[in-house]
Amino acid sequence: SSVIDILSIPIRNVTLREAGDFVFKCVEEGKVASIATANAEMVMLAQEDRELADILRHADMVVPDGAGVLWAAEQQGKKFQERVTGVDLACSLLREAAARQTAVYLFGGAEGVADQAVANMKRLYGDIHIVGTHSGFFSAAEEQGIIDEICSKGTQILLVALGVPKQEKWIRNHLYELGPCVCMGVGGTFDVLSG
């Protein structure tokens, strides 16, 4: 799939389906990969935050989340196939993960929110193989334990909801300590799915 640069951030022109296929291809191959969902706020933040810009430039896939990103492409005479939101991609990954019994870990959000999101998603998609959840409010002393758990439970897909840009920086800093897994920053997605 092609890439469209929005203010120097390379965003992949993928459909929701293509984005999901990419994730499960990585999972099947046991690859480590990072996924980001870019909206206008994230692209603007990356103009001032060089670390975030660098992370997005090196991510394995940045998807076009947000009407502002689609609009900005049209200003350059380009067109994304469709908007791929974090919520839609997370749901689509959880549905496919249920079908394949992929090991999923949900990290982030307030205490209990990820568990409530899991309960709702299981009602929709059947039994999802959730290997663990952890709230996104943790101490420095707890962090290594969370990383060890994600790794030792054999996590294949890790959804990280710590807000932008904390989640992108956390993923970049720890991606290679987590075992072979695909990590995606999902922002407020657990809050949406738990409702």
Nearer to ligand UDP, 26 or 186 (CB): 186
Q: Which residue is nearest to ligand UDP (CB)?
A: 136
CB atoms within 10 A of CB 12: 21
Please tell me whether residue 65 binds ligand UDP under the rule CB under 6 A. Answer: no
The encoded tokens of residue 62 equal 């940045």
CA R_g for the chain: 16
DSSP assigned state of 109:
S
Q: Tell me which residues in 156-195 interact with ligand UDP (CB under 6 A).
A: 161-164, 166, 187-188, 190-191
In the list 2, 99, 100, 137, the residue contacting ligand UDP (rule: CB under 6 A) is 137
Q: Tell me which residues in 101-120 interact with ligand UDP (CB under 6 A).
A: 108-110
With a CB cutoff of 8 Å and minimum separation 6, the contacts of 62 are 9, 10, 11, 12, 35, 36, 37, 38, 56
The DSSP element (H or E) to which 108 belongs, if any, is: strand 104-108
For the bound state, the minimum distance from the C-beta of residue 171 to ligand UDP, rounded and expressed in Å, comes to 13
Q: Please give the size of the binding site for ligand UDP, defined by CB under 6 A.
A: 14
Q: Which residues bind ligand UDP (CB under 6 A)?
A: 108-110, 136-137, 161-164, 166, 187-188, 190-191
